[in-house]
Amino acid sequence: MSMPIMLFLYMGFEHSIVNMFLFPSGILLGGNFSIKDYLIGNEIPTVIGNLVGGLLAFVGLTLYSNHVRTGAKRNADLGAGIAAFPAE
- State phi, psi for 57 to the nearest 5 degrees: -75, -55
Residue 56 counted as domain residue: yes
Measured CA to CA, the distance from residue 33 to residue 22 in angstroms comes to: 13
pLDDT, position 81 = 56
Measured CA to CA, the distance from residue 42 to residue 84 in angstroms comes to: 54
Q: Which positions of the chain have pLDDT values less than 50? A: none
Residue 30 counted as domain residue: yes
Polymer length in residues for the chain: 88
Give me the number of domains the chain comprises. 1
pLDDT, position 82 = 56
Contact 39, 45 (CB under 8 A): no
Residue 21 counted as domain residue: yes
Residue 88 counted as domain residue: no
Residue 26 counted as domain residue: yes
51 is in which domain, residue-wise? 2-83
